[in-house]
Amino acid sequence: MNNTKKEKYEVKEGNYPIILSVENDKYVMNIVQDENPFDPREKYHIGTMICKHDRYSLGDKPGEYNEMSIDDVTELATAEGIVWFPLYLYDHSGITMRTTPFSCPWDSGQVGYIFISKEQMEEEKITPEKAEEYLRYEVEEYDNYLQGNYWGIVLEEKKICLTCNHTEYEVVESLWGFFGKLKDAPILDIKSNFPEDSHELLQALINY
């Protein structure tokens, strides 16, 4: 992707861990790779994700399902009244997961299921259609975690040393835990966490 001029601001690609950067006379705003993202399966989630793999520890953390065979897991996940999706893993220079098979049979295969029971749907007061949406989102979220595709926004204010005229940078605010594309992030919520006079920089990054 080439550097692109957006109105007053030039958005530039950065060196790892900085993904994108834009600045004005007062601030520098960076999109930064999150090198230690939080495992989304360790926070609240609706679906149950059970995976079996020889080399990777995937899905929900050890619990009542982990000692089950893959046949027992299949029987459990696909029982009547349960909303479920199969989980497929592609393992080649990194790993990625989705609910449909990959085209390469040598480096991919089914590793488990994600599902939600009828009782859980009743407890959460959601329809099967809404449950499918939640499960697809949880798989997308977990896939981005597996790929390391998490990032944060860091805003730094420029400080000029009156003695040596050297520019130093002081972190004013940072926000983490995002995945996927910036344009799909909750922009209004993000803006509320940053000074109003930095919003144009954020908009420039969104438009890039």
pLDDT of residue 66: 67
pLDDT of residue 183: 81
pLDDT of residue 43: 87
C-alpha 37: how far from chain center? 8
User: Average pLDDT of 13-32?
Assistant: 93
Choose between 206 and 154: higher pLDDT: 154
Residue 93 has pLDDT above 70, yes or no: yes
What pTM did the predictor assign? Answer: 0.83
User: Average pLDDT of 81-98?
Assistant: 95
Calpha distance 155→23 (Å, rounded): 10
The residue written with tokens 């793999």 in the block is 53
Q: Which of 182, 189, 174 is nearest to 203 (CA)?
A: 182
Mean pLDDT of the chain: 90
Task: Pull the structure tokens for residue 134.
Answer: 């939640």
